[in-house]
Structure 1
Amino acid sequence: MGAFIAAATGFPAVVFTAALAVVVLYWLLVALGAADAHGHGHAHVQVHARGHAHVNARGHGYGRWLGGVPVTLAFSLFVAVGWLISFCASVLIVPSGPAGVLVGAVVLIGTGYVSWQATKLLVRPLHRLFPDEHGPSRLDFVGLTCTIRTGRVDAGFGQAEVRAADGSAATVQVRQTGNDALASGSTGLLYAYDEPGEFFWVAPYDSALDPRTGPGGNPG
């Protein structure tokens, strides 16, 4: 037992041992229901150049990695494989003393590379279990209402906040062709996207004109 602990806490295995401890703790939280196995967290979507939406997430392992497999699972495999290789190398080939540091450094670099390649092979069969999820694009926002976040909106200035179908909030650039009153906090309708200018055209929103909520409409 003492030899096992010495190898696991010695260089270079200790690097992966520390990472493995984090991974084990994470999956224990998943088992207890305190974390999400897919790593979904709170997301904020912001539209950048060319109107593509970028998701900034707060949470463990949000997103996809290595062919669509959740990052939490792929990273766990990477750490597990790396720990096994580094542990075996520490026992079999890393000498003690000053020479062990140099050999350990080489083993650590090699372990990272081998573990990366092994992880890519291991996640390939899992890809079909996790369908590709495409993030929101500029077309998803056209036709949605938004909340103006600047003091004014004109032909050259304006920002608004819009919520995508998945509930994530996005801050977008907006412009208008007229002189309608669009002040901070007012509601607008994104009716088109300007590709060269990378902004949305917005107009004042009147719920009475919405066929879903207006006279004769069917709310909800």
Structure 2
Amino acid sequence: MDFLNTALTFPTVIFSVLLIIVIIFWLVTIAGLADIDMFEADVEIESQTNAATSGLFNSLGLTDIPLTVSASLMIMSSWLISTYAQTWFLPNENNNLYYLFGITIMLVSSILALPITSILAKPLKRFFTSKETATKNDFVGLECVIATSKVTDTFGQARVTFQGTEQLVEIRIQDDTHQFNLGDNAILIEHMSENHSYIIAPKPWA
């Protein structure tokens, strides 16, 4: 009951709500109804107008993984820090300084979550395509394994092994004559620069 009381009261309740949204997002993604890179285009545009923030995230290595992953790690870290800080340092709710301390805990939790997120993100980098080490045509002709429950002309992801490392790429189909399901094998046959994805086809020797 003490844990629930902490998680559902200010300031931790703010992070609790965000954490619930993150959990729902990943459940929807696992079901194949959302794209792990769905916010990347917006972030690239925003980063051009905010060089300071972009530089900070670059120095922490958070631009090497999808925004959805780094945001999830940051929210989880902030929630954990806020939970313990609220338990140990927040005065009684009747105290006049309660909300001032609460806002301070929120800010400090968010700041401390940045380096923690950077540490947690480091081992995950190898699972995602690096724009610096892989050109758009490096994967064409390689075999991939479907990583989503379905693939359409607007949605789909697959895992491909490149230079000894398994990476996640966006995939699409040109028509629906062949249906791909989770775990199926396919071939990357063409790169589409407009949406940074690859057209796939069934393995000819399958």
TM-score (norm 2): 0.52
Q: Distance in 2 between matches of 1:22 and 1:39?
A: 16
Q: Is 1:16–1:82's contact at 8 Å kept on the other side of the alignment?
A: yes
1:74 equivalent in structure 2: 70
Q: Is 2:11–2:105's contact at 8 Å kept on the other side of the alignment?
A: yes
Equivalent residue for 2:37, pick from 24, 39, 45: 39
Q: In the comparison of the two structures, how many residue pairs are matched?
A: 122
Q: Distance in 2 between matches of 1:71 and 1:42?
A: 6
Following superposition, the deviation at residue 75 of structure 1 comes to 0.5
Q: Is 2:15–2:78's contact at 8 Å kept on the other side of the alignment?
A: yes
Structure of higher CA gyration radius: 1
1:84 equivalent in structure 2: 80
Q: Distance in 2 between matches of 1:77 and 1:90?
A: 20
2:100 matches 1:102: yes
Structure 1 portions without partners, runs of 5+: 45-53, 57-63, 135-164, 170-220
Letter in 1 for 2:79: W
Structure 2 portions without partners, runs of 5+: 47-57, 133-190, 196-206
Following superposition, the deviation at residue 41 of structure 1 comes to 6.8
Cα pair distance change 1:55/1:166, threshold 3 Å: farther
The structure richer in helix per residue is 2
Q: Is 2:11–2:82's contact at 8 Å kept on the other side of the alignment?
A: yes
TM-score (norm 1): 0.48
**2:129 match: secondary structure:** coil
2:13 equivalent in structure 1: 14
Cα pair distance change 1:55/1:82, threshold 3 Å: closer
Q: Distance in 2 between matches of 1:110 and 1:41?
A: 26
Following superposition, the deviation at residue 32 of structure 1 comes to 1.7
Deviations 1:94-146 (A, max 9, x none): 11222221111111111010001110121122222223126xxxxxxxxxxxx
The structure richer in strand per residue is 1
2:111 equivalent in structure 1: 113
Cα pair distance change 1:133/1:40, threshold 3 Å: farther
Q: Distance in 1 between matches of 2:89 and 2:111?
A: 18
2:128 equivalent in structure 1: 130
RMSD: 2.9
Cα pair distance change 1:133/1:101, threshold 3 Å: same
Letter in 2 for 1:166: M
Letter in 2 for 1:25: I
Q: Is 1:94–1:103's contact at 8 Å kept on the other side of the alignment?
A: yes
Deviations 1:142-163 (A, max 9, x none): xxxxxxxxxxxxxxxxxxxxxx
Letter in 2 for 1:89: A
Report the identity percentage. Answer: 28
